Structure 1
């Protein structure tokens, strides 16, 4: 979610909210699924006392019904995420029934919020029950996280409706945070609020309202991190921000933190912050990033910065980054919220340095993790996003189900996925004084003002099904401007107008300047072919294995399509050729890949208790292999899935 002009030190600016809406094709279908399926489904889950108790907590805190607080403390923030996504969708659809539901929700929140702006249903209900409760009393609780999402929802609601009803509640919450952080500074009791959504939120609020107080509050909140005593790598507060040089600890806390610091840099220009952001991004992108754009490999572990002799007490981490190249597949954590945070971070870095790599990562994150975190119908959800699954139960415990669930005990990811998917068109373009930078590609219509003149731009494409992207200008009055066209990282061949593209153009921007009016076109043609991908040799889990991508889309095999071979050995020849065909999964058309160049061995017997056995005579058996987009997996029952396949010569 992005809004207004942002920062003296930003090279690029956000397009004004709702400048671009999906008009056809792949992404319009995803937006429609968000509006018609995900939105009502998540509200139903929140509205059910027996399922989530989320809205029940608000009603109890408001004195509208009896009961006790149930569910996680961050459920308040999860509801605010839903409200943000719903507000954005209303800004597109103008649906009267949705507006009524949004207004009803705002009224309920206003009833619970205290006069000083503080709102936390767990706190209010505890007070009603005669228990002690302290505002921001526990730095490992989620008040600031919740308040941050309330502020962000208020900004999006205002920019989508022009109304201030929710924005006023967000402003009150921001002043509450200001008072609490000033008190902490005065009392020398600095604390780190986990999953710090409020950093980005406060700066969003400053940009929407123009009130510099909120920028100063964000600056104070981030400065307080350097005063925390006995911090941890799990919370990224063991050392000062300027000393950070590696992505460590809880992946949502990390990406939200660095997204907030990037926003702060664009406003205040602390060069130590910018240098730090570049270091931690390189650490993540080049040594800790999954091929599906997942980040945060580990369920639980010990910080790689802590070891006996250096840290007497080893520091626990969870939902966290591991060591460089530590990327297990079967047990990959890859929380959906972490990739959403990473989209926020990459978008902000993109606006600082204009590097195509950030837009490329955002696009691949949408296709290969955001979409994969939900079922095709939008009603079942993943929390973690593994890169492999066995059909049989595992001989060890994992916190989350191995298939998507209708409801999760920690429901933070689905409404987060919902809001960013609803707002996906905001990542199509960024603006410069005299030009437009392309972001993710999709069929859309846009309205901009470049140097005071209106530009109407229509992007027509079937991408990612094919690589033809046609930019058509529709304003009658000629406007001189530059369209900076992104060439994705995977491109080997293509054309941009009359210019031929090759590998050296990949992951760059090419400027196309002119005086454009209705009827003028710029045509980008990208040669989208399946390609076979290797991982760095230090990634132990994928040595001599290969994955398949087509354009920005990652592919996987499911056992249900490949049950005539010995599944653990099913792999690919290095020179495998693929044919493309459209198939239907759960009423959704997807482009699948088939090849006669699959290989497997005969079935091996592992029924005994042994961990190892002598190698029997093996014979490589040619076999057909079918691959589907990773975002379409787990829609046909609990079966085997893998992205990485053994490599056969």
Structure 2
């Protein structure tokens, strides 16, 4: 849903159509024809849907595989809903959404509670183990599936099911209710999305309360300590990204959503501070995050072993989604840069070309004697996992991928990710079309045909095109004539009263870049073309506070030699 406030606004659900001949469109088509049907089939084979039927006594199959497997159903429902927004969607997906929504409505308790594990297996522990129960986490994914269904106009019963559960959560944990937080953040951003859909203020107020209650020790300590679920310090006071990676980014996604809707600059500042820490010192060159397998967590600054990288697929997806929210809130290009790096590397590598096999963990180097006994770190992609969070998460991202390409604001249209397709938007009273043809990311040229249909006389508006931080030079032409466009916040901006049809060509220089080695047990460096494998803030260096870009040289940043970055150093930093 579109934020109430913020620098940028997303387009309508049908505002972008990807061309299947381009890379992003091909990924989305593969998702529709392979990944999503595979996920639906695995819900049956692995037993997640039978967990729901078991509540009704329709099967005697034991609850399997995980106590939070309901979330796999909800993520697949969300993916199906987004896919049904496409004109060529498989009509069988509608039947899946409708029949599953009907099944969920039948098993939902009279008070709105809906969780198969704590209904059939541990009813006496309902709401009593929020640190590990994932009850609110599952509820959040149910709500997000319902929001997607409502926006697309499918699954008529699903929004009602989600609202009844959300109303129960508000009554129990909203302002004046039980002070508690979920061990796995997710409910926060879901409640804000539901508020945007319905306008019902208690959903937003409850999301904000969950954010405000973090850091008070309500989540308990557990075997990993409170930092594992970001309950060691209030969100507004946090200075470092810590603990379980997915939990950290889902929490900050909710915090940014709350900040945008309530006008809370303190929360935005906290999110920016944690971005600096994570992307400056704890991010692999692939955009993956999480150095530690034991707790799926961030390591210390510059602790980035390639062969022991956890870099969970869901962590990359969560980072992508959080950076999207930061982009909407601030309009700053570095967040789109981070999205691009994760998308073309950490996320792309997690799924096989057949669309039916997946990585859970994504180490950058795999030794010949790698121990693949752990289900989450096999030596090859798997069709499913006992903890199956990643495959349906990939499905819901790919089904909605077109939604992340462009936005609008009061001044014009912004293009953040480059892919062949068609963008349709309104800038003020002007209907704008943008037909994009590109070989990106293999080639740096992006050709755009701009069409306008003003309601009255043409007025000036701005087409803003992202210039990635790795790009050292670029050229722009409009109708064949060279254009000098100012670059602000990472975007080249062309302002004019656009005629009915114009052709804009952006050529991005794509240099081959060397990234110096990180502090690891295995000395290594990476060579890569941009943007694949080239982070705008590579994990092996600190971020210059004045915004200077890194230039490859023999200078070694902290912590190896103790020398500090200097904006005046001619070899270490350049504007």
Query: TM (normalized to structure 2)?
Result: 0.86
Q: 1:525 aligns with which of 496, 507, 531?
A: 507
User: What secondary structure does 1:167 align onto?
Assistant: helix
Q: 1:139 and 1:361, CA in 2 relative to 1: closer, same or farther beyond 3 A?
A: same
The higher radius of gyration belongs to 1
Q: Which residue is equivalent to 1:18?
A: 14
User: What secondary structure does 1:298 align onto?
Assistant: coil
Is the aligned partner of 1:493 residue 2:493? no
Q: Which residue is equivalent to 2:368?
A: 391
2:72–2:392 contact (8 Å) kept in structure 1: yes
Is the aligned partner of 1:81 residue 2:60? no
Q: What's the CA shift string for 1:533-588, capped at 9, x where partnerless?
A: 2245xx23465x32122221139xxxxxxxxxxxxxxxxxx99xxxxxxxxxxxxx
1:11–1:354 contact (8 Å) kept in structure 2: yes
- Structure 1 residue runs of 5 or longer lacking an equivalent are 301-317, 556-573, 576-649
- Structure 2 residue runs of 5 or longer lacking an equivalent are 535-551, 554-575
Q: What's the CA shift string for 1:423-466, capped at 9, x where partnerless?
A: 11111012111211211110111111111321111111111121
Q: 1:136 and 1:486, CA in 2 relative to 1: closer, same or farther beyond 3 A?
A: farther
Distance in 1 (alpha carbons) for counterparts of 2:41 and 2:84:
18
User: What secondary structure does 2:533 align onto?
Assistant: strand
Is the aligned partner of 1:348 residue 2:325? yes
User: What secondary structure does 2:277 align onto?
Assistant: helix
Shift of 1:489: 1.6
User: What secondary structure does 2:253 align onto?
Assistant: helix
Equivalent residues in 2 for 1:79-228, closer than 5 Å: 79-92=73-86, 93-126=88-121, 132-161=124-153, 164-182=156-174, 186=177, 190-228=179-217
Shift of 1:245: 0.2
Distance in 2 (alpha carbons) for counterparts of 1:7 and 1:475:
26
1:491–1:506 contact (8 Å) kept in structure 2: no
Q: 1:182 and 1:63, CA in 2 relative to 1: closer, same or farther beyond 3 A?
A: same
Number of residue equivalences? 523
Distance in 2 (alpha carbons) for counterparts of 1:501 and 1:409:
54
Q: Which residue is equivalent to 1:273?
A: 267
Distance in 2 (alpha carbons) for counterparts of 1:335 and 1:436:
33
Shift of 1:269: 2.1
Q: Which residue is equivalent to 1:439?
A: 416
Distance in 1 (alpha carbons) for counterparts of 2:310 and 2:262:
35
Q: What's the CA shift string for 1:500-558, capped at 9, x where partnerless?
A: 899x969711111122244212210112243322245xx23465x32122221139xxx
2:281–2:302 contact (8 Å) kept in structure 1: yes
Distance in 2 (alpha carbons) for counterparts of 1:418 and 1:363:
18
User: What secondary structure does 1:377 align onto?
Assistant: coil
Distance in 2 (alpha carbons) for counterparts of 1:493 and 1:186:
55
Q: Which residue is equivalent to 2:431?
A: 454
Is the aligned partner of 1:46 residue 2:43? yes
Shift of 1:193: 0.6
Query: TM (normalized to structure 1)?
Result: 0.77
Distance in 2 (alpha carbons) for counterparts of 1:277 and 1:393:
36
Equivalent residues in 2 for 1:547-586, closer than 5 Å: 547-554=526-533
1:356–1:509 contact (8 Å) kept in structure 2: yes
2:94–2:154 contact (8 Å) kept in structure 1: no
User: What secondary structure does 2:148 align onto?
Assistant: helix
Of stretches 512-521 and 193-202 in structure 1, the one that deviates more from structure 2 is 512-521
Q: Which residue is equivalent to 1:284?
A: 278
Of stretches 389-398 and 142-151 in structure 1, the one that deviates more from structure 2 is 389-398
1:484–1:509 contact (8 Å) kept in structure 2: yes
Q: 1:513 and 1:236, CA in 2 relative to 1: closer, same or farther beyond 3 A?
A: same
